[in-house]
Every structure is written in C-alpha cells, then in structure tokens.
Amino acid sequence: MHMHRLEKWWLVFGISMLAIFLLVLGTATFAMGVTPPGEHRHTVNPETVTQNEPFDKPGLRQVGDNEYEAVILAFVFGYSPDRIELPVGAKVNFVLTSTDVVHGFHIIGTNVNMMAVPGEVNHTSYTFKEPGEYLVLCNEYCGAAHEQMQMRIIVK
C-alpha cells in the first residue's frame, strides 16, 4: 500500500507523541505509584457491610505519624462520617464502599476522585498539604437527591 512520504512522517510524529504520553503515564503508575484508585481487590457484602470490620465503625483512625485511615460508607444520599478533621500535612488512606447503589467520591481541588461500588472496596491515598474546608461530593448519579450528597474534610 502506498503511503505519501509526509504521511509517514506524520504517523511517526503522532505515534511517538502517543508513546511518550504512555511512557509518562506508565512510569508514574508503575514506578512511582501514582496509580488510579482501587488497586487491591477486596470485596464485602453490601447488605451486611455495616456489621463487619472496618465498616461497622466508619471514621478516622490514626495509623502512623500524621497518617490516618479514613473508612467511609457512601449511601443514598450521604456519607458516613459526613465530616472529618485533620491536621495540615496529614496523609490519609481512604477506604470506601457503598451500601446501596454506585456513588462517587470527589474531593474538589484534589485528584481524589473515585467510585464507591457496592460489593467492592475502593482505596486511594492523599496528603493534605493545604489547610481549608474541602468539599467532597458524589459525582455519580445515585437517585432523586443526588445533588445533595456531600461531606466535608476540614484541614487545620
């Protein structure tokens, strides 16, 4: 098949561009651990999840030096807990699931943006470097009052 000389150069350019994008993303993901959320598989029964560890006591617990685990339940139309307070610089490992339908969990202004899927547990980490009142909202349609589903993270 004949291809114009310049088209070949264009494809070389374009494919190299895509390869570089992938290389950057891949390095960040696999070598530096900047992965999308939800790495290890961990299932729960959405009907009994609130009776078992750790989701029987959702909330914040300290696990290290200014490091915390935040266990969060999403449900129609809110989160438990609906407010978390943290010191500046705290690293938080989020553990999230849903007791009913699919929800979202987006901390505005950060890269924490993940799905709460019933039966699955999602994980991600974030270090709060800036003080402020962070808005967390559900960004997956979950029903009639979806637009009211939110919580706050206060960093002082």
Site for other proteins in 116-135 (CB under 8 A): 117-123, 133, 135
The rounded distance, in Å, linking the Cα atoms of 129 and 95 is 20
Nearest-angstrom CA–CA distance, 75 and 140: 12
Write out the H or E segment, with its range, that includes residue 5: helix 5-26
Please give the structure tokens belonging to residue 54.
């750790």
27 binds, among other proteins, Cu ion, none (CB under 5 to 8 A by kind): none
Q: Is the dihedral of CA 16, 20, 25, 28 positive or negative?
A: positive
Q: Which stretch binds Cu ion (CB under 5 A): 59-67, 106-114, 119-127, 132-140?
A: 132-140
Using CB under 8 A as the binding rule, the residues of this chain from 61 to 90 that contact other proteins are: 76
Determine whether 13 is an active site residue. no
Residue 44 binding Cu ion, by CB under 5 A: no
CB of 154 to other proteins, least distance (A): 12
**What residue type is 85 in one-letter code?**
E
CB-CB contact of 111 with 126 (8 Å): yes
Out of 75, 94, 105, 128, the active site residue is 75
Binding mask 91-110 for other proteins (x = CB under 8 A): ---------xxx-x-x-xxx
CB of 138 to Cu ion, least distance (A): 3
Question: Measuring CA to CA, which residue among 134, 139, 49, 133 is closest to residue 96?
Answer: 49
What is the nearest approach in angstroms of other proteins to the Cβ of residue 54?
Answer: 15
Structure tokens, 140 = 């997956």
CB of 139 to other proteins, least distance (A): 4
What does the radius of gyration of the chain's CA atoms come to, in whole angstroms? 20
Q: One symbol per residue from 26 to 55: x for binding other proteins (CB under 8 A), - otherwise; what is it? A: x-xxx---xxxxxx-xxxxxxx--------
Task: Give me the active site residues, please.
Answer: 75, 77
